[in-house]
Amino acid sequence: MHEYGFIKIATSIPKVNVADCEFNTSSLISIISQAGSQNVEVLLCPELSVTAYTCGDLFAQSVLLDSAEHSVEIIRKESLKWADMLIIIGAPLRNEDRLYNCAIAIMNGKIVGVVPKSYLPNYNEFYEKRWFASGYDRKGNSIKINNESTVFSTDLIFVKGEARMAIEICEDLWTPIPPGSRASMGGANVILNLSASNEVIGKHSYLVDLICQQSAKTRTAYIYSSSGYGESSTDLVFAGNAIICENGALLDKSKRFQLDPQLIIADVDIERLVNERRKINMSHNGYNDDKYTIINLDSKDYKFTESKFFRSIDAHPFIPSRDNLLSERCEEVVNIQSMGLMRRLEFTHTQDIVIGISGGLDSTLALLISVLAFDRLGLCRKGIYGITMPGFGTTDRTYLNALTLMKELGITIKEIPIADSVLLHFKAIGHSVDNHDVTYENSQARERTQILMDYANKVNGMVVGTGDLSELALGWATYNGDHMSMYGVNASIPKTLVKYLVNWFASRNDYSDTLKKSLLDVIDTPISPELLPSDKTGEIEQCTEDLVGPYELHDFFLYYCIRCGYSPRKIYFLAQRAFADVYSDDTIRKWIKKFYQRFFTQQFKRSCLPDGPKVGTITLSPRGDWRMPSDASFSLWLKDCESM
């Protein structure tokens, strides 16, 4: 296995000739060689790939069955060339007085186990019970192949490193309780399915959904290999389906209706699966796995070989990659945000809210969500008090955008400058206005929060917070300043997603061109708290990402740290690939160290967060999703960063 917990698994669609074991063996060996040259560790081939699936009553012919066993022996010897690669092929095997549709596991010149098919279809075009017996009706737990005995059971788990692999065959997947489901409760985190599934209209999309759902329910990687070109077309067509899913996500799949053989390779993240299962205590949860026979495949002489990395790493894991899904997801997110605020307004009998409008991304999103909530509750938008509070660093660009947004959305506009009150405060505490330190900055942030809180009291309303998930992760908020509100609608929205949500709002047909233009300019404005004076040209001097690092990097670090529990070194490994054309290795190293330093030292701010709706799988609420002591040491994580 890869040093970061990946295992390279391939699923294949070899070309076959019906009942031509010699041809099929040659085809399988070609696929095996191709996989071996790519350092594949597990190779899955289709159901009955040695004989082809559509042999019909020829399965009763001893000539075919003898030839199939001979082919298995040839492939067993061939496996010696590809040390430590587990090869799964399909063949009909005799045992006692019965014939079984079997998956044969081969590695290092040995047949390490045989799994017979459990559920046999007996309907429409499939009449497997005519030829085969169910694995549940087998006699004994051993089988002889070419005079060599090996374990023969429906309950085998093959172990390579942290990968625990179980096998099921075709129809098994379509049953109410597939064997793979039981195996997953017994500890299996990879399910290998050898299949021969014909093509009919609509079946493919259903199949992909079924595999993804099974993978999600069982917290496993689901590897599927189904017959393709070469099977009999007497009544059916086999289009070829090679599919790899991981925890509900489709990693890769083959093209259908291809004449040439196909090999689909993916780096499956076993560490992530193990972490997921550990979180929910899934393995062994109320299930007795004593029935499973464990086949240990780890070799003492195995050495990890660096090879091509087949896994695609999304640089923006919080954002759906498909445009059609992005729009749907954005609508879902804003519905969750607005529904949370609506319930809080209704429960507190509040018809007025106060928001600090800076002309930046976060306050813009909070305002848009508030307007949506008010509209859905039938409340007058004038009950939304947008307060702009220009200070020492406020630029014309953000100020004018703030005014435009409030005017176009029809809310109540208030402008309360903070310079005089902050200067009075500086005088009271003996701080020089020329000393632009943290006191200079935080005094402004706290003054703004005091204004918002006091004005909310004045109108008998509540303060809606604007801070987002990325800021909470980095602690990029003034304690008891913008850190505080009465309800934080953006609390679980990362900065990278905030941009997409604001852009989604800008695409609404009921918005004026002026409003849309302003929203798009907000997106293009550099992210800044505007607490330091602007430059000589009046432009923003204080850019947040220059100080704490690019938010797209920090959101990437946050996702894999919290959602997956990865080490800094593994996150760095993934970031190198996700941002290969964007950031240098040195840049990634610099900011990942900064991430861990800030994430640990700023926990005290997250320990007393206001209420806010959970939107995605990651939130940092201390009431449920993230419980961490404020004084936890980060020396282990920093040490891991230093080793990169």
Give catalytic residue positions: 47, 117, 170
What separation, in Å, do the N-terminal and C-terminal C-alpha atoms of the chain show?
A: 20
What's the distance, CA 26 to chain centroid?
38
What's the distance, CA 197 to chain centroid?
28
Query: Which is it for the CA torsion 216, 222, 228, 231, positive or negative?
Result: negative
Query: Which is it for the CA torsion 493, 496, 498, 500, positive or negative?
Result: negative
DSSP string, 123-168: ETTEEGGGT---GGG-SSSEEEETTEEEEB-S-EEEEETTEEEEEE
Beta-carbon contacts of residue 540 (< 8 Å; ≥ 6 apart): 393, 395, 397, 398, 525, 526, 528, 530, 534
Tokens (6 digits) for 20: 């031509």
Query: Which is it for the CA torsion 10, 15, 18, 22, positive or negative?
Result: negative
Check residue 69 and give left, alpha or beta (phi > 0: left; psi -120 to 50: alpha): alpha
Rounded Cα distance between 599 and 3, Å, is 26
Task: Report which of 328, 221, 205 is spatially closest to residue 5, judged by C-alpha positions.
Answer: 221
Beta-carbon contacts of residue 402 (< 8 Å; ≥ 6 apart): 357, 358, 359, 363, 386, 388
SS3 183: helix
Beta-carbon contacts of residue 4 (< 8 Å; ≥ 6 apart): 271, 566, 569, 570, 573
Residue 387's H or E segment, with its range, is: strand 384-388
User: What one-character DSSP code corresponds to residue 564?
Assistant: T
Question: Around Cβ 596, how many Cβ atoms within 10 Å?
Answer: 19
Rounded Cα distance between 296 and 157, Å, is 8
